[in-house]
Every structure is written in C-alpha cells, then in structure tokens.
Amino acid sequence: MKKIDYILLTVVAFLTFFGLLMIYDASSYIAFRDFGDKYHYIKEQSMWVILGFTGLFFFSFYNYRKLYYLSLPALLVAIVLLILVFIPGLGVTALGARRWIDFGFFILQPAEFVKLALAIYLSAWFSNKEKGRFLAFALLLGLVLFLVMLEPDMGTAAIILSQGLIIYFLSGGNIFYFLSTLPIIGFLGFLLIKLEFIAFNLFLSCKADFNCFWHGRINRGGTG
C-alpha cells in the first residue's frame, strides 16, 4: 500500500465538508421553498462527495502512470462534450449560458470534466522535458478556452488558463514565453469580463422584453 499523506488528506476532507456546510447555509431556504426539503441541495452534492472519495480511494492504489495511455482519448471526449453543449436538445440553457448536457438520467457540465482531462493530457504530453512546443500548446489551450468562453463560463476559462500555464512552465517551459504572454492574458481577461457582462445583460434585456410582451398580451385579453 502506498504511503498516505495524512496532512493533504485532512486538508482535502476539511475543505470538502466545509464546502458542504456552506452549500447548506446558502441554499437551505431556497431548497425548502422550491422542493419542500431544506436538505435537497446538500443531498445532491453529497452524492458527488461520495463519488469523489471513492475515486480518491481507487487512485490511491492505481498506478497513475497508466493514465498516460488514456490521456488522448480523455481529451478528445472532453472536447466533443464541449461541442455537444451547443446542440439543441442536448445543451441546457440557464441564465443565458449553455454549460450543461442533458443525458436524461443526469446532467453533465463538460467544463468540469475538461479540467481533469486537460491536466492529465498536458502532464502526459510534458512528461519529458518541454522543448519548443509552446505554439502547439497555445493552440490546444486556445481551442479549449474558446469553446468554454462560448458557453460562456469565464470563471472556468480563467481556471483552465491558469492550470495550463502552470503545468507548461513546471515542465520546463521557457520563462520568456510566460512573460511575453502576460499582456495577452491581461487583455483576454478584460475581454472575458466584458463579454460575460454583455451576455448577461443581453439575456436580462431579452427576458424583460418577453415579459413586457407577454403581460401586455394578457392585459389586452389575449390567451396563452
């Protein structure tokens, strides 16, 4: 059995259960109002906690080096899932964003799977010392970020960007490339914030227009 890092395990467990407590504190009223059960959301999230700790237990025994051979298929599946978000009938829209896929028996948010798949793929790709692959890396990261930004999910895009850059430069990437990308990253960050703000306001405007039209129709004696 592998040696267990009890400090890291304790930190993970603490953050997980503290997060559940915060979810309960923030959602109990809404859960009771909408579902008649103030524990509705905490039960829902607890299922994912159980799944997560099951995965933690499994991979504590699994040879992580075998993930090398699953890295490319996992990345391809993740990209396909990001594209499926935009297919009518599969993609779920909420508050002007399309971030989920409805498989009928469960709803998946591909951007969350992409974080894991991209981390595994980049780790496998850069398992040998990085030598002059910045352009290919930038194109791959750009494709993933573009699909996530289209949803739009700017918070996840920022996390994926940070994750990708950290893995790249920990693999031995040239610090000059990092410094040269700072102005671009800053501009893109500003652009992401503006785009999300515009998209959200456009959604609110469309919703308000629809409500005005609908209520005006009812006031004139129209029927639904």
The string of DSSP letters for 45-114 reads HHHHHHHHHHHHHHHTTS-GGGGGGGHHHHHHHHHHHHHHTTSTTTEEEETTEEEEEE-SS-EE-HHHHH
Q: Residue 171: what residue type?
A: S
Residue 211 has pLDDT above 60, yes or no: no
Query: Do residues 118 and 160 make contact, with C-beta atoms less than 8 angstroms apart?
Result: yes
Q: What is the DSSP pairing of strand 97-102 with strand 107-108?
A: antiparallel
Q: Residue 13: what residue type?
A: A
| Residue 179 resides in a domain | yes
Q: How many domains does the chain have?
A: 2
Query: Do residues 90 and 84 make contact, with C-beta atoms less than 8 angstroms apart?
Result: yes
| Residue 125 resides in a domain | yes
Do 94 and 45 share a domain, yes or no? no
Cα–Cα distance measured from residue 73 to residue 85, given in angstroms and rounded to the nearest whole number = 19
Do 56 and 6 share a domain, yes or no? yes
Q: What is the DSSP letter of 174?
A: -
Query: Do residues 147 and 83 make contact, with C-beta atoms less than 8 angstroms apart?
Result: yes
Do 44 and 154 share a domain, yes or no? no
Cα–Cα distance measured from residue 130 to residue 207, given in angstroms and rounded to the nearest whole number = 49
Structure token digits, residue 122:
């980049």
| Residue 156 resides in a domain | yes
pLDDT at 87: 83
Residue 66 has pLDDT above 90, yes or no: no
Do 75 and 56 share a domain, yes or no? no
| Residue 159 resides in a domain | yes
Which of 18, 37, 62 corresponds to the end of one domain? 62
Do 95 and 169 share a domain, yes or no? yes
Q: CB within 8 A of 189, min separation 6: which ones?
A: 158
| Residue 30 resides in a domain | yes
Distance of CA 61 to the CA centre of its chain: 27
| Residue 6 resides in a domain | yes
Distance of CA 28 to the CA centre of its chain: 24
pLDDT at 101: 82
Structure token digits, residue 76:
């391809």
What range does the domain containing 199 cover? 64-219
Do 177 and 166 share a domain, yes or no? yes
Do 133 and 183 share a domain, yes or no? yes
| Residue 224 resides in a domain | no
Tell me which of 45-54, 157-166, 173-182, 199-208 is least confident: 199-208
Do 94 and 184 share a domain, yes or no? yes
pLDDT at 224: 45
Average pLDDT estimate for 79-100: 80
pLDDT at 59: 85
| Residue 37 resides in a domain | yes
